């Protein structure tokens, strides 16, 4: 879907006002890939390229504002003595008609070399080294197209059950994707959960750390993108990284060298991946039900 001439002129105005590019006329705007839920474009002016994300401002209000805030939190984790955390520069968010948009820098992608993947492992460890006193966040955000509740809890088990599993389980049950037997099995899991994992301080987590939510530039620098941040148990990011692939052993070795993780963390991947799998069940349908039940049955 191409942008209207009026929308392009509005973006040109944003560039002129907020970025300070003198020759700001957009020479072209072409659709590019950039995720499952947004319409994405490469914009070119005489001086530089930009990345533009567009979505419905009515059904997904504050989507891009929370994305910008999440990227800022991730970047801030790399301040001080910790290593740098690279995220794309967000120039502006705004609204035009019924659409919202996020204007960002354009990053040229490169190869996923072992060197780059080790840097990514170190970068994620840096993010996880930022701690808070409670689990959650001061505002809700999004996991994909689903509103993600981040109400604060002192206890990780309480947070994971109340703010992650229960809302998705209820949604799936209401849609007829799970039955009463599934509800009973989840109740058993809730009872057992507190004894299934090692306790840690709340860590800043990316929140949606799968293989499509990072990129390596042509300078072999890893960037974190599309976050769903909150303070949680850091194993959730590592678990999600195993769900759809996209990570090599160099990444995990570098992470463990930077911020050692419990040696049995992989055995708990199915536990933490119940949340993204329930989201996929609710978003894409019954094809994910078997995977949800398989992961659930591992722990009950």
DSSP sequence for 130-153: -B-SSBB-SS-EEETTEEE----B
CB 189 within 8 A of CB 262: no
Mean pLDDT is lowest, of 10-24, 150-164, 227-241, for: 10-24
pLDDT tens digits, one per residue of 30-57: 999 876 789 999 999 888 899 999 999 9
208 belongs to the catalytic site: yes
Domain ranges of the chain: 5-105, 114-297
Class of 5-105 in CATH:
alpha beta
pLDDT reported for residue 62: 94
What 3-state class would DSSP assign to 210? coil
C-alpha span between 163 and 288 (Å, rounded): 21
What is the percent of the chain where pLDDT is above 90? Answer: 83
Q: What pTM does this model have?
A: 0.94
Query: What pLDDT is recorded for position 247?
Result: 96
Q: What is the pLDDT of residue 21?
A: 63
Contact 123, 130 (CB under 8 A): no
> Out of 208, 218, 237, 264, which one is annotated catalytic?
208
| Of 28-42, 93-107, 224-238, minimum mean pLDDT range | 28-42
Distances (CA, A) of 20 to 12, 16, 44, 48: 11, 5, 15, 12
- Residue position matching structure tokens 């160099």: 250
Across residues 95-101, what is the average pLDDT?
A: 92
> What's the whole-number mean pLDDT along residues 95-123?
94
pLDDT at 78 over 80: no
pLDDT at 144 over 70: yes
pLDDT recorded at residue 277: 98
1-15 tens-digit pLDDT = 678 888 988 888 888
Mean pLDDT of the chain: 94
Q: Within the chain, how many helices (H) and strands (E) appear?
A: 11, 11
* Among the listed residues 178, 197, 162, 185, the one whose alpha carbon sits nearest the alpha carbon of residue 278: 178
pLDDT at 81 over 60: no
DSSP H helices, the chain, are 5-14, 63-76, 114-128, 156-159, 166-174, 180-192, 235-241, 249-258, 269-272, 274-284, 289-297
Q: Which residues of 149-163 are buried (b: 16+ CB within 10 A; e: fewer)?
A: bbebbeebbebbbbb
Q: What topology does CATH give the domain 114-297?
A: Aminoglycoside 3'-phosphotransferase; Chain: A, domain 2 (3.90.1200)
Distance CA 228, CA 207 (A): 5
Q: Is the pLDDT of residue 102 over 70?
A: yes
- Lowest mean pLDDT segment, chosen from 34-43, 113-122, 139-148: 34-43
Is 114-297 in the same CATH topology as 5-105? Answer: no
Torsion of CA 146, 241, 201, 68, to 10 degrees: -50
- pLDDT band at 160; cut points 50, 70, 90: very high
pLDDT the model gives residue 264: 97
Residue 188 has pLDDT above 80, yes or no: yes
Overall average pLDDT of the 87-101 stretch: 93
């Amino acid at each position: 879907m191409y942008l209207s001439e009026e929308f392009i002129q509005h973006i040109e105005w944003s560039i002129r006002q907020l970025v300070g590019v003198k020759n700001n006329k957009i020479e072209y705007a072409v659709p590019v890939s950039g995720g499952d839920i947004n319409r994405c474009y490469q914009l070119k002016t005489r001086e530089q390229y930009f990345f533009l994300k567009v979505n419905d401002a009515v059904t997904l209000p504050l989507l891009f504002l929370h994305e910008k805030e999440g990227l800022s939190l991730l970047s801030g984790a790399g301040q001080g003595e910790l290593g740098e955390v690279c995220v794309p520069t967000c120039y502006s968010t705004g609204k035009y008609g019924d659409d919202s948009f996020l204007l960002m820098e354009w990053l040229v992608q490169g190869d996923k070399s072992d060197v780059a993947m080790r840097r990514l492992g170190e970068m994620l460890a840096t993010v996880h080294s930022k701690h808070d006193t409670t689990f959650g966040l001061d505002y809700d955000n999004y996991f994909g197209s689903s509103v993600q509740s981040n109400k604060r809890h002192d206890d990780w088990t309480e947070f994971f059950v109340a703010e992650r599993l229960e809302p998705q389980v209820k949604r799936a049950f209401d849609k007829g994707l799970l039955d009463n037997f599934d509800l009973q099995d989840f109740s058993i899991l809730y009872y057992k959960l507190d004894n299934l994992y090692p306790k840690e301080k709340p860590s800043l987590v990316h929140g949606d750390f799968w293989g499509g939510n990072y990129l390596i530039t042509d300078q072999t620098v890893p960037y974190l993108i599309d976050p769903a941040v909150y303070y949680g148990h850091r194993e959730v990011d590592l678990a999600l990284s195993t769900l759809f692939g996209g990570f090599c052993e160099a990444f995990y070795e570098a992470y463990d060298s930077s911020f050692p993780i419990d040696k049995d963390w992989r055995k708990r991947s199915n536990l933490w991946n119940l949340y993204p799998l329930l989201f996929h069940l609710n978003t894409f349908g019954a094809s994910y039900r078997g995977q949800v039940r398989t992961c659930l049955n591992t722990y009950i």
